[in-house]
Amino acid sequence: MGLSTRHSSRFTPVDFIEENAELLARVQQALSDLAPDGADLLKAFHRIQSELGYVPKAAIPYLASRFKTTPADIYGAISFYSEVHTEPPPRILVEWCSGPACLLKGSLRIRRVLEAVFGCVMGETTSDNGIGLRLVQCDGTCHIAPQIRVDHDYIGPMSAPQAVQLARELKARNLV
Amino acid sequence: MPAYEDLQRAAQEVWAAIEEPQRPLVRVAIGSCSLAVGAAETLEALKKALAEQRLAADIMIVGCPGLCFAEPLLDIHVPGLPRIVYGNVSAEDVPELVNDVFHGDGVCKRLAIGAIPKQGESIIRYIQTAAAGIPDIHSHEWMSIQETRLMASCGVIDPVDLEHYVARGGYEGLAKTVTMTDEQVIQQISDSALTGRGGAAFPTGRKWDFLRGAPGPVKYMVCNADEGDPGSFVNRNLMEGDPHGIIEGMAIGGYATGASYGYIYIREEYPLAAERVEAAIKRARERGLLGENIFGSGFSFDLEVVRGAGSYVCGEETGLIASIEDIRGMPKIRPPFPAQAGVFGKPTNVNNVESYANAPLIMRRGPRWWASVGSESQKGTKMFSLSGQLRRVGVLEVPMGTPMRDLIQTAGGGVPPGRSLKTVQPGGPLSGIIPAADVIVPGGVGILLEPDPFRERGMFMGSGGLVVMDDSNCILELCKYFEWFAETESCGRCTTCFAGTRRLVEILNRISEGEGRESDLQLIELLGETMRNANCVHGQAAPTSVNSMLRFFREELMEHIQNKRCPAQACAGLIRYEVRRLSDRLEQAGNICPTGAIVREPDSTYYIDQKLCIKCDACREIAPESIEVVDITQPESVVEPAAVSE
């Protein structure tokens, strides 16, 4: 009986979670010096995410035991925050800013280009998990609107033709 | 445990070398805004050039002084000259800059945007120097309307350096605070008439007094730094540029209210702000300005940063409290108010970043000085961020009650040439829309930037974002965005909010696709009425923008519904791209099309396959003389032959 069954009571999403010893070890390592005494769950998410790039569902039972709560509550929190990701990041991450300054400067056109060239809609990754298209909120770097970010590098102001060229380059890079 | 005087003396020693540098001192603005345009590369190039040429100079990292439009920005203080500010300095510009400054006369004229003479000193003093002809930066349109208090040190000091902050009067307010009683401190804050800067404009002194009167011993100070309103970035700028002011303000609040612990809740999107606030907390703790027995007064206070993870409703104070408590950040029904039961059920005070940052100024210089700027009803200054269709985008600080027009027309430089101002959207998606006629009033000053004029219009001034729209933009497209945002960020607890916003999105979507009905207007109004009964401000205020659209832009909306026409030609469902004129650029336009919608006929003419066209505009930007946007209701046009070129 591993950690994953400790809280398998009536709240059980646990049965649906695959155990993964290696992932769990890395999660435990990331949280080794964290002593949860309130106001620490988000910190735990951030630490796991900076170590693994995402918060694997396999970590939910462990987090529940560390935070003395139910897996359901942990899952509830994870699913509440848009910047906590439960899937590994794609090889190339393309973030599209949804903010108003970008919108007024034509960001919807950029979005249409990205979706058309990558062949996936916002929030999804290409079928090979190579390129992921993520919607992000405005962070106030509106002087370069409309912008996108490739692996966290800011690019903007961006025109539609530039977006086509960049998207094609990224697609080619992903295939290499 | 150092006395304040010892701290000040040590700080002055450090600062003197910065005020009167013995060798050139380069301040490089490193903030989210500058990093987005390559400031890290500029800094690297500068360091490399100085090292390679063995030049004697110092480099200091500072925050953004608010001129985001001029980033990457740096200023160089050559002994004997005023500080010279250089704008839009890319890594490629560095060799020229270094050459002019270090091997020339000390000034690079091409990149200079202004000079900063010492306080109280006129730029005229430098008429005989290489700085002659460079205007005082304060005469720049961006600066001339400003009254910088909170931002006075942004771009001047190393943001996390405690000595720098202390040398400019920092922690003096806290030192004074601990010699007073809690009631006296609250009296000072009340006398200043400081009101909450997050949007609600509730008197801060009164709010603090609620917490003071709440039963202890455990109480919390919480700083709402979850600046989630898209287009607002004033808090980010302050946290990145001068974080100690916020820390000191929270400590003052802690003393006044009997709270000994605080949380600064910073949104996920602001990693650099979180890093700098955390670094500043660490420095303050090392010097005993946070922790046990501050200034030997017996008062203890400490702080921690909680980083959000992407949720707008966590900016609502009860949602923020829930988020700190290790659960979903869903707003709760008030009462109980945070002062009765906040974080972990304990009495709590929640204020905005800017509210806290004002407290040290009030305590240091007195409420009378603090209230010497502002309007009849609102005192002090307010920070605003400008974005959208403006020539200049950035962050500035003006007296409360400054005409919005001054920010848009003077500082921002107005909308792009050939365009006219359409609306200004203040303070985020829930705040409403101000039409141009309220901003630019012939013979008048237009709407003033203080809470009351917005309330009178059924809107909110919000926390400082001003997003500007011109006549190339569609009001419906903007409102669709706001309602989409409100729907996506609804916590889902109350049906009124999550289903109400969803219905609004559906209605607006169908109008923008040409499927609108005239009865939709009543439906929108009904939803607006119903949503006032939502549990928290998120649902209650979600229809504000749509209501403003009905009020000020009914005609434009009716045009979408009745004539299936988008006057700005922005709504994708109501426009069509067409080849109107043949030209040799059409081949290139065909190559750029991401969906292959531009079809070449055997006779070398072109047409656009409407089933494939995604309306991304790429082809038109490549071949603007050949491709046009037309209303969907217009009959198909005949393609003209190519114009004969010489």
- Provide mean pLDDT across the span B378-385: 98
Angle between helices B520-531 and B495-512 (to 10 degrees): 160
- Provide mean pLDDT across the span B178-182: 98
Helical (H) or strand (E) element with B386: strand B381-388
The span from the CA of A70 to the CA of A80, in Å, is 16
Residue B211: half-sphere exposure toward Cβ, Cα within 13 Å: 29
Residue of A nearest to B472 (CA): A104
Window 373-412 of B: residues touching A by CB (8 A cutoff) are 385, 387-389, 393-394
- Gyration radius of chain A's alpha carbons: 19
> Tokens standing for B185?
């401190």
Best A74, A141, A171 member to test B by mutation, with max B CBs in 10 Å, is A141
* Confidence band of A6 (pLDDT split at 50, 70, 90): very low
Q: What is the pLDDT of residues B434-478, one digit of tens each?
A: 999 999 999 999 999 999 999 999 999 999 999 999 999 999 999
Q: What is the pLDDT of residue B153?
A: 98
Instruction: Kindly report the three-state secondary structure assignment for every residue of chain A.
Output: CCHHHCCCCCCCCHHHCCCCHHHHHHHHHHCCCCCCCCCCHHHHHHHHHHHHCCCCHHHHHHHHHHCCCCHHHHHHHHHHCCCCCCCCCCCEEEEEECCHHHHHCCHHHHHHHHHHHHCCCCCCECCCCCEEEEEECCCCCHHHCCCEEECCEEECCCCHHHHHHHHHHHHHHHHC
Q: What is the pLDDT of residues A109-152, one digit of tens each?
A: 999 999 999 999 999 999 888 999 999 999 999 999 999 999 99
Q: Is B50 within 8 Å of chain A by CB?
A: no
Residue at B200: amino acid letter:
A
Q: What share of chain B is helix, strand, coil (3-state, %, to 5)?
A: 40, 15, 45
Q: What is the pLDDT of residues B35-91, one digit of tens each?
A: 999 999 999 999 999 999 999 999 999 999 999 999 999 999 999 999 999 999 999
Q: What is the pLDDT of residue B301?
A: 98
Q: Which of B227, B326, B593 is facing A39, going by the closest CB pair? A: B326
Q: What is the pLDDT of residues B567-613, one digit of tens each?
A: 999 999 999 999 999 999 999 999 999 999 999 999 999 999 999 99
Q: Which residue has the tokens 């200054």?
A: B381
- Provide mean pLDDT across the span B116-130: 89
* Cβ contacts of B641 within 8 Å, gap of 6 or more: B581, B582
Question: Do residues B319 and B330 lie in contact, with contact meaning Cβ atoms separated by under 8 Å?
Answer: yes
For residue B646, pLDDT over 60 is answered with no
The span from the CA of B179 to the CA of B177, in Å, is 5
Q: What angle do CA B74, B79, B80 make, to 5 degrees?
A: 115
For residue B522, pLDDT over 70 is answered with yes
- Say whether pTM exceeds 0.90: yes
- Provide mean pLDDT across the span B176-203: 97
Closest by CA to B193, choosing from B33, B368, B336, B354, is B368
* Confidence band of A5 (pLDDT split at 50, 70, 90): very low
Three-state secondary-structure class, residue B616: coil
Neighbours of A9 (CB within 10 A): 11
Question: Do residues B35 and B72 lie in contact, with contact meaning Cβ atoms separated by under 8 Å?
Answer: no
Residue at B201: amino acid letter:
A
- Provide mean pLDDT across the span A43-61: 95
- Provide mean pLDDT across the span B337-342: 96
For residue B231, pLDDT over 50 is answered with yes
Distance from CA of A19 to the nearest CA of B (A): 24
Burial class (CB in 10 A: 0-12, 13-18, 19+), A26: middle
Question: Do residues B381 and B461 lie in contact, with contact meaning Cβ atoms separated by under 8 Å?
Answer: no
For residue A15, pLDDT over 70 is answered with no
Question: Do residues B615 and B632 lie in contact, with contact meaning Cβ atoms separated by under 8 Å?
Answer: no
Three-state secondary-structure class, residue B575: strand
Instruction: Kindly report the three-state secondary structure assignment for every residue of B215-231.
Output: CCCCCEEEEEECCCCCC
Best A37, A98, A104 member to test B by mutation, with max B CBs in 10 Å, is A104
Q: Which residues of B touch A142 (CB under 8 A)?
A: 68, 231, 233, 385, 387-388, 393
Q: What is the pLDDT of residue A169?
A: 97
* Confidence band of A175 (pLDDT split at 50, 70, 90): confident
Q: What is the pLDDT of residues A61-117, one digit of tens each?
A: 999 999 999 999 999 999 999 999 999 999 999 999 999 999 999 999 999 999 999
Q: What is the ipTM of this complex?
A: 0.96
Contact B36 A137 (CB under 8 A): no
Residue B518 to residues B515, B524, B529, B561: CA-CA distances in angstroms?
Answer: 10, 11, 18, 7
Residue at B221: amino acid letter:
M
- Provide mean pLDDT across the span B183-195: 98
DSSP string, B476-514: HHHHHHHHHHHHHH--SS-HHHHHHHHHHHHHHHHHHTT
Q: What is the pLDDT of residue B644?
A: 58
Q: Which of A36, A138, A160 is facing B230, going by the closest CB pair? A: A138
Distance from CA of B274 to the nearest CA of A (A): 12
Residue at A132: amino acid letter:
G
Question: Do residues B264 and B357 lie in contact, with contact meaning Cβ atoms separated by under 8 Å?
Answer: no
Distance from CA of A121 to the nearest CA of B (A): 13
* Confidence band of A8 (pLDDT split at 50, 70, 90): very low
Q: Which residues of A touch B304 (CB under 8 A)?
A: 39
> Tokens standing for B117?
């003479």
Q: What is the pLDDT of residue B102?
A: 97
Closest by CA to A105, choosing from B409, B626, B416, is B416
Q: What is the pLDDT of residues B395-438, one digit of tens each?
A: 999 999 999 999 999 999 999 999 999 999 998 899 999 999 99
Domain parsing of chain A, residue ranges: 15-80, 92-175
Q: Which of B69, B269, B312 is facing A139, going by the closest CB pair? A: B269
Supply the mean pLDDT for chain B. Answer: 96
Residue B150 to residues A175, B57, B239, B250, B382: CA-CA distances in angstroms?
Answer: 50, 29, 11, 15, 9
* Confidence band of A3 (pLDDT split at 50, 70, 90): very low
Window 412-471 of B: residues touching A by CB (8 A cutoff) are 425, 429, 467-470
Best B67, B268, B323 member to test A by mutation, with max A CBs in 10 Å, is B268
Contact B329 A81 (CB under 8 A): yes
Query: What is the fold of A92-175?
Result: Glutaredoxin (3.40.30)
Best B616, B620, B622, B627 member to test A by mutation, with max A CBs in 10 Å, is B616
Q: Which residue has the tokens 């209701």?
A: B633
Residue of B nearest to A47 (CA): B307
* Confidence band of B216 (pLDDT split at 50, 70, 90): confident
Q: Which residues of B touch A123 (CB under 8 A)?
A: none
Domains of chain B: 15-144 (3.40.30.10), 170-370 (3.40.50.11540), 381-470 (3.10.20.600), 475-562 (1.20.1440.230), 572-631 (3.30.70.20)
Contact A41 B327 (CB under 8 A): yes
For residue A4, pLDDT over 60 is answered with no
Q: What is the pLDDT of residue A16?
A: 59
